[in-house]
Structure 1
C-alpha cells in the first residue's frame, strides 16, 4: 500500500470498491480480501450491497485534486475515469483500537501480506481482530489466533516484552482488559520476576565507578521499561508483585526507577533530561504517596544508593508539603538503615518558615531516634532469642556515631542553632557509640567559634558533652592551647593529657629497661646458655661470636630490636620533656585557681580542691603515679585531627 497524505490506496492495479475511514485516515481497499478474513466487513459490505449508494467518482477526483494542490502524490487520471461509474462501499470505524496504524496492519493481513508481530503491536492487533471478527471459525489461521499464539509463545515468556505489551494496552482500555491481555502481562511479569535471582538484575540505580563513570548493569533494562507504565498500571503491577511475595529488593528497585523518572530533582546525580512532560504538583504528590506506601518495610540492601534515594524522597515530601504519614514512613525507613547514609544525605535544608536554622535539625533528630529505637528492639529480641548479630549492630552504632559527629560539625557554624538543640543531638547517642571523642570535640570547637557571645556557663555546658578521657593525645594537645574553651575544660584536658603521657612513658620504660646484654643475644642462644649452666659473661662473649655465622635470621631480629629500642628512647625523652612542660602549666593554673577559690575547709588539699571544682570524679593522685602501667595502643584506627 502507498500513502497519499490522509488517504491510503491499494497498488494492486484494480480499482478500489471499499472506502474505510479510521480516525483521520481514508483507506481505499477492495471488498473480497476484506470479506475473506473479516466477518465484520462481510456483514457490513453485504448490507450495503443490498441497499447500494451510488456515488460518482467525482468526489474521489476532487479529493485527488486537493492532494495535487498540496503538492503530494498523483492519482492516475485513467484509473479515475475507469471508476467513474463504479459504485463503492463507504465504511466508517470510529474509535478503532490502535487507530489507523493497527487497521493498516490488519488490512495488509487481509491481503495476504506478511506482517511483523512485536511486543508493541500485538495487543492493538489482537483488539483489531476482535473488532473485525477475524476469528478462526471464519477463516483458518486468522488474525486472532496469530496474535494469541504470539502472545503466549513469545511475549509472555519475556519480562521486557510483557512490559512493552502492557504499556501498549494503556490506549486500548477497556477492550484489552476484557480480552485478558492486561492480566496476562501482569501475571507474567510477576511470575518471571519472582522466579529469577534478584542478584542477576544488578542494583537498579546506576552506580558510580571510582573513575567517575557510570556503570550499567544488565538487569536495569526491564526496570527502565517498567518506569514507562502509567501510574494505574504500575500500581496494579506492584500489588501483583507483593501478592507473589516478590523480593523486597526487586519491589524497591521498581519504585526507585519509577519515582526517579517522574519526580524531578529526586536524585542530585541524575542530570539526564526526561523526554516526558513534568507532572503537576498534585500528580507528583499522588506518585509520592504511591511509592512511599509500597516501600518494603524490610531494610534495604547494603548499597547506599537506596538510602540516598530515600533522602531524596524526604526532601521532595518537604518541598511539596505532603502528608505527615508519608514523612513519618520515610523517616522510620531511613532510621532503620541510618548507618548506610552519608553526611551529604543528612544535610536536609529547612523548608519551613518556622525553622530558623539552615538545616532541618528536628528531622535528623527524629531519624536518629528511630535508629536507636530499632537497636533497642533488636537488643530485646537478642536477649530472648540469642545473640547473632551483635558485632554488626555495634559496627552500625559506631558508623552512626561518626556520622552524627560530622553532622554536628557542619551545623555548628549556624548562628541560629540554639545551644539546647546542639546539646540534645550531641548526647542522644550512648557512650559506647564513640570510641574517641575527637569528632565531638571538633564540633564543640566549631560551635564555640561561631557563637562567641555565649556566657561561660553555656560554654561549660557545651564542653560537657565530650569526655576528656576519650580524647586522643593529638586532640588533647590542640584543646590545651584552645583559647575558646572555658577554663574548667582546659584544666580537665591538661589533666588527662598528663595522665596519658605518664602512662605512655611507663610503657616505654618497660620496653626500654630490658638489659642490653639480653637484647644483644638471640633468645634461643640464651636458652642454650641457661641449660649449659656456664658463666653468663663468658658464654655471652662466646655465643655472640658464633651467632652471626650460625643464626643470620636471629641477628637480623636483634639489630631491628636495637634500632626500635633507640627510637623508643628518643620518644621517651620527647614525652618526658612534654610532661615537665604540662606539669609547669598545670601548677601555675592550680595556683591561680587557689587564689580564686576562697571557700571551703582550710585543711583541704590542693588536688581535692581542684577535683571538686572541675568535676574530676576520680582519684587525682593517679596523675602523680609512676606505676609502670602499659597502655595498649589501638592500632588500625584513623583519628580525625581537630583543626
Structure 2
C-alpha cells in the first residue's frame, strides 16, 4: 500500500497487513479506540487481532471497503464475512448511511428471499467457517428460514410428494402399473431432492435449528424424519466416535419433536442398535425406547431380537423389550385403546417369548415378566404362550416348585383350545392338577356354549338348519369334547392323587372322542343327503302343472 502505510495489522497470526492508520481507524471503531487510549510513539504501530471472523480473507474485504470510499459489492458469497467482520471491528459507530458497513450488509441480507438455492447453500456453508459469533448465528437463522420456506413452497407445488402419514413411503414399492411406479418414484425424488445438499453442509447444531424451523413452518414431518435418518447414515462414513455420538443424539432429539406417527418404526430400531453400540446417554436411550414403544404394533420379531448388553449372561436384551411394552401400554392407556393394536403386540410378544424360551440362561423371573407383560384382555388365545412355556420347561429342568407354579398360573386355561388342552393332559411337565384345571375350563366354556341352547329343539329342527349348525368345525369339536369330558370328571375329588389312573382314563377318553367324531361326520353326511332329497322333491313339485299338483 505504499510507503505511507503506518499501521501493521496481524490477523489471527496468519497474515499481516500494512495499512494507513487514519483511513482504517476512521471506519473501524475498535481500532480507533485502541489509539485513543494509548499514548506514545506514532510510528511502527502494530495491532494484533485475535479470533477475527473469517481470518485474512475477511479483513481484506474490510480494507477494500475502507479504501474505496465505502463502496463494495455485497453478495451472498461475502455478506456473512462482511457482517461478522464489521461487528467485530465496530464499524457501525460514528458513521451512518452508506458509510456504515453493518447497515449495508444487513440490507443486503434482507434480500435473502431472492437468492437462488446455490447462493443460499454457499452462504450457509461459508458462514460455518467463521468463528462462532452472534452475527454469524443470525445469518444461520436467516438462511435456514429461507431454505425451509423454499422447501415448503416446493412441496406445495409438488402434489405427488408422499404424505407424512406414511413414514415407510420413501421406499419404492413394486407395481404392476409401470406408470404408477414411475409416478411414485418421481414423487419421492421430488420430496427428497434436498437431502444430499443439506446433509453435506449442516452441523448437528444447525440440524436442530433446521428442524425447529421446519416445525414452525409446518413442513411435512414424514419427509423430515426421513431426512434425519438420511443425515445419520450419510455423516457416519468418515465421522469419529465422538462425532457419531453427537450425530445420533442430535437425530434422536429432533425425532422426538416430530409427530410420532410420521417416524418409521423400522428406522428407529436401526438408530437404536447404533445408539446402543455407542453408549448414548440414558436420556436419549429412554427417548428411543418411548418412541419405539409408541408404535410397537408395527415392529417385527427380528426388530425385537436385540443382543443383550456386553457382560450379560443371557442371549437377548429382555429388559429392553419389557421397556417397549411398558411405554406402549402407557401411550395407549385410556378407554379408547385400539384393540387391534393391542392384539398385534400380543401376537408379537408371544412370538418373542417362544424365541427366547430356549435360552438356558434366561431366568424364570424374566421369562415370567415377559409372559405377564400384557393384560389378559390382549389375548384371545393362550395357545402360543402355552407352547412357549412348554419349550421353557423342557430346557430349564432345574426350576423349583414355586417357580414352576408361578409359570403354570400365568396361563389363562379358559383361553386354551381343545387341541392344547388335549396336549396338556399328556404333558408330564404339567402337574395333574393343572391338567384338571384345563379340562374344567373347557367344561365351563362348553356349559356357557350350551346355556341358552335348547338341546331337544336341536334334533327337531329342519334338516337345512341342523346342517347349518354343524358346519362350525370348532363348535362341533367342542360339543364332542363336552359329551365325553364333562360327565366323567364330575364328583372326582381325589383325581389329583390318582395320576396313573387319570392318565389311563384320559387315553380312553381321547379314543372315545375320535369315535364320536366319526359318528358326527356320518350323521352330518346323512343330514346333507336328507337336505338334498328334500330340495329335489320341492323342485319337482314346483315344476308340475298347477292342475296336476
| TM norm. shorter chain > 0.5 | yes
Alignment equivalent of 1:331, drawn from 265, 268, 289: 289
Q: Is the 8 A contact 1:292 1:330 kept in 2?
A: yes
- Matching residue of 2:317: 360
- Quote the Cα distance in structure 2 between the aligned partners of 1:494 and 1:581: 11
Q: Is the 8 A contact 2:163 2:220 kept in 1?
A: no
- Matching residue of 2:341: 396
Alignment equivalent of 1:409, drawn from 350, 354, 367: 354
Alignment equivalent of 1:219, drawn from 188, 191, 209: 191
Q: Is the 8 A contact 1:164 1:225 kept in 2?
A: no
Change (3 A) 1:419 1:585: farther
Q: Is the 8 A contact 1:512 1:565 kept in 2?
A: no
Q: Is the 8 A contact 2:80 2:127 kept in 1?
A: no
The runs of 5 or more residues in structure 1 that have no matched partner are 1-93, 98-121, 131-136, 138-143, 264-275, 383-389, 520-560, 597-643
- Matching residue of 1:266: none
Aligned residues between the structures: 398
- Quote the Cα distance in structure 2 between the aligned partners of 1:339 and 1:453: 35
1:267-301 Cα shifts (integer Å, max 9, x gaps):
xxxxxxxxx52x11111111112122222345522
- Quote the Cα distance in structure 2 between the aligned partners of 1:124 and 1:439: 65
Is it true that 1:418 corresponds to 2:363 in the alignment?
A: yes
- Quote the Cα distance in structure 2 between the aligned partners of 1:454 and 1:240: 57
Name the SS for the 1:190 alignment partner: helix
- Quote the Cα distance in structure 1 between the aligned partners of 2:277 and 2:482: 56
CA drift of 1:478 comes to 3.3
CA drift of 1:366 comes to 2.1
1:602-625 Cα shifts (integer Å, max 9, x gaps):
xxxxxxxxxxxxxxxxxxxxxxxx
1:304-347 Cα shifts (integer Å, max 9, x gaps):
x6222222222222211121121122222222332232222222
- Quote the Cα distance in structure 1 between the aligned partners of 2:113 and 2:469: 82
Change (3 A) 1:164 1:505: farther
1:149-180 Cα shifts (integer Å, max 9, x gaps):
9975462xx6x8845764566568899x7698
- Matching residue of 1:370: 327
Q: Is the 8 A contact 1:343 1:407 kept in 2?
A: yes
Change (3 A) 1:470 1:508: farther
1:288-299 superposed matches below 5 A: 288-297=248-257, 299=259
- Quote the Cα distance in structure 1 between the aligned partners of 2:366 and 2:414: 24
CA drift of 1:577 comes to 5.2
- Quote the Cα distance in structure 2 between the aligned partners of 1:179 and 1:487: 75
Larger helix share, 1 or 2: 2
- Quote the Cα distance in structure 1 between the aligned partners of 2:418 and 2:120: 64
- Matching residue of 1:207: 171
CA drift of 1:232 comes to 4.4
Change (3 A) 1:181 1:499: closer
Change (3 A) 1:588 1:312: farther
Q: Is the 8 A contact 1:346 1:364 kept in 2?
A: yes
CA drift of 1:580 comes to 5.3
Structure 1 stretch displaced more, 416-425 or 193-202: 193-202
Change (3 A) 1:235 1:350: same
- Quote the Cα distance in structure 1 between the aligned partners of 2:495 and 2:371: 32
- Matching residue of 1:600: none
Change (3 A) 1:129 1:499: closer
CA drift of 1:210 comes to 6.3
- Matching residue of 1:185: 143
Name the SS for the 1:218 alignment partner: helix
Is it true that 1:314 corresponds to 2:272 in the alignment?
A: yes
1:54-108 Cα shifts (integer Å, max 9, x gaps):
xxxxxxxxxxxxxxxxxxxxxxxxxxxxxxxxxxxxxxxx9769xxxxxxxxxxx
Change (3 A) 1:152 1:573: closer
- Matching residue of 1:348: 306
- Matching residue of 1:252: 225
In angstroms, what is the RMSD of aligned CA positions? 4.7
- Quote the Cα distance in structure 1 between the aligned partners of 2:392 and 2:213: 52
- Quote the Cα distance in structure 1 between the aligned partners of 2:132 and 2:147: 20
CA drift of 1:372 comes to 2.3
